[in-house]
Every structure is written in C-alpha cells, then in structure tokens.
Amino acid sequence: MQRPVFFVAALMLALAPGGAQAEKVSEKDLIARTTLDPAERARREAEVATMTPGQQGEAMAAAVTDRTIIYYQKGHGVYVEYTSADGRLFMWYPRNGGVVRGTWGLRTMGGPKLCYQYRNAVHSVTGEYEPDECISPEQMLNGEAVLDSRSGDPFGLAKGTIPYPKSPRDVPAWPDAAKGG
C-alpha cells in the first residue's frame, strides 16, 4: 500500500533541535510547531477519509512500528515514545523517573483505532495514573502532535532507562547515530 504523502511528510519533519543537550522550548513555540492551519488539517482529514478502514489501520500501524516519535501535547508536554514491532512501548515521559512501559496495538472493532496501555505512567501535571488511550485515524495520521520521528530506538528506551529526567518542555536532541533519519 502506498501511504498518503501527508502521512510520510508529517512523520519525517526535520524539526529536531541541534546540539547534544535538550532544547528548552516555550509552550507557545511547541504549540506553533505542532498545530496545523485549519485548511491543512481539513486536507489531511479528507485524505484519511478516502482510505478504507483497512488502509487506515495499516497506515497507523506503519506509523509507529519500530519507531521513536517525539510528541508534544498541551497538558502533557514533550514526551518520547518508542513502539517496538512486537507491540511493546517504552516512553520517556516528563517528570517520570524511569521508562514508562506498556503495549500498543490496533483495535478494529467499530473502526480502526491505535490503542496504548501504560503500566506505570504518572501524568506530569496532575500526578494521576494514566492507564490507556485510543486514537482515531484522523488524529493519528494528521501528524499534528509529532515534533519529529526516527526509525528504531535511538535513545535506547527498550533497555529500561531514560537518558535523563526531563521537564515537560525539554525537546531532546537525537543521538548522533539517529540524526537525519
């Protein structure tokens, strides 16, 4: 299956900060980096709507399989998530002292959704346990929350350790081996 152009472009944006240290970014800048203008959002959602449910599911799974993605979501901050090909996930979440572990998978009943279960996540703002979530194709495939992504596990999150404790606005620099790809 050929993936929609926006899908590939959204996940491959080269917005990673330079240098070896994390870049502290203002919330205003993070919002600007991850917010689509209304016309672009509508175009991307229309493109997803032309896909069959099976194509949507395939595209969502392909977007996260063996991939590390740096996300920004208002209320959560910047977090890094590695989703392995075997359905495990490892997240470097703000103000968590270690790797948040969980699983991911595709739910097809009632239309495809990409679902995540977190075993030990504590919300960085509320302090509440965050058990799971499911994301629609429209939300997942528009790439709006994605700051950057790379193939594989360049931060080594699957080893069970985080590089350093991070705050919600730290955008980590990619390790040298992961730059550009």
Tens-place pLDDT, residues 120-176: 666 666 666 565 788 999 988 988 899 999 999 999 999 999 999 998 999 999 997
Residue-wise pLDDT tens digits, 5-28: 333 333 333 333 333 467 888 889
Per-residue tokens: 60: 């969502």
CA distances from 178 to 35, 87, 152 (A): 25, 22, 9
Share of the chain above pLDDT 70, in %: 79
How many residues does the structure list for the chain?
181
Per-residue tokens: 128: 């509440």
Domain coverage including residue 27: 5-158
Query: In Å, how far from its chain's centre is CA 107?
Result: 18
- Residue of 63, 20, 9, 64 lying closest to 155 (CA atoms): 20
38 falls within a domain:
yes
The pTM of this model reads 0.79
CA distances from 168 to 23, 40, 75, 110, 146 (A): 11, 27, 9, 34, 15
111 falls within a domain:
yes
- Residue of 108, 124, 111, 107 lying closest to 71 (CA atoms): 124
174 falls within a domain:
no
169 falls within a domain:
no
CA distance 113 to 12: 22
101 falls within a domain:
yes
13 falls within a domain:
yes
Note whether 56 and 137 are within 8 A (CB): yes
48 falls within a domain:
yes
Residue-wise pLDDT tens digits, 74-124: 888 999 999 999 999 999 999 888 999 999 999 888 889 998 888 766 666
60 falls within a domain:
yes
Q: What is the number of domains present in the chain? A: 1
Query: In Å, how far from its chain's centre is CA 37?
Result: 20
